[in-house]
Chains A and B, each alone.
Chain A
Amino acid sequence: NAGVTQTPKFRVLKTGQSMTLLCAQDMNHEYMYWYRQDPGMGLRLIHYSVGEGTTAKGEVPDGYNVSRLKKQNFLLGLESAAPSQTSVYFCASSRQGGSYEQYFGPGTRLTVT
């Protein structure tokens, strides 16, 4: 099992450009998440999904959109990138909510100039 994978690993964007980050999991998990990590801070939740076709906002959703068309994939989109979105993005998944453990991908390092 590959677990949770993220594509790409690194990306540099110019202000105003758009891009999509892909997260894939092969554990048949229902829940998937996108977090961002900024220097000196813990991870903060951007959006999450509790099942195929459903998404919900987390703590810091502004400037991002998500889609969960297939159970195994969770896409994070930036429509018009801003320097404030320079961050490391982590995807995670868990079997269900509650007491189930979350498993994390390796991260995507995004720089917006």
Chain B
Amino acid sequence: KQEVTQIPAALSVPEGENLVLNCSFTDSAIYNLQWFRQDPGKGLTSLLLIQSSQREQTSGRLNASLDKSSGRSTLYIAASQPGDSATYLCAVRDDYKLSFGAGTTVTVRA
């Protein structure tokens, strides 16, 4: 059974600092890994999707890396802003479903 862990569970940083969010998974037989953002009481916003054959994906200030053999992914958010405050979830895809981590709740202080 796939287990997905996100550490830390919560993170507070001053505005402008770079954010580093970690995700680990136990079974490396995945098709892809996806990072989501969730605002309180809201749905999921997909941020980045990394296919298993890829090492990283970038979108604006966001960069996600994937090391499938070691079961790790890292989401980097450059020059954080208060608007980046949210919970970030990672999820790995096997043949039919996503397995989610519990998320990292980020607070960016102005």
Contacts and interface: CB of A to CB of B under 8 A. Distances in A.
Given A90-B44, A98-B95, A104-B44, A42 B32 contact: no
B88 to A, nearest CB: 11
A33 B93 CA distance: 13
Contacts, number: 54
Contacts of B97: 33, 45, 48, 58
Contact of B102 (A42, A98, A103): A42
A43 B100 contact: yes
Interface residues of A, number: 25
Size band of the B side of the interface?
20 to 34
A97 B96 contact: yes
Contacts of A58: 97
Contacts of B49: 101
Given A90-B43, A90-B44, A42 B89 contact: yes
Given A42-B102, A104-B43, A106-B43, A99 B93 contact: yes
A41 B89 CA distance: 10
A31 B96 contact: yes
Given A99-B51, A101-B49, A42 B44 contact: no
A42 B52 CA distance: 21
B19 interface: no
B68 to A, nearest CB: 13
A51 to B, nearest CB: 12
B108 interface: no
A90 B45 CA distance: 12
- Closest 5 pairs between A and B when the two form their complex, measured CB to CB: A42-B100, A106-B43, A99-B31, A43-B100, A104-B44
Given A43-B100, A102-B93, A106-B42, 11 more contacts: A42-B4, A42-B89, A42-B102, A43-B89, A90-B43, A90-B44, A99-B31, A104-B46, A106-B43, A107-B42, A107-B43
Interface of B: 4, 31-32, 34, 41-44, 46, 49, 51-52, 89, 91, 93, 95-103
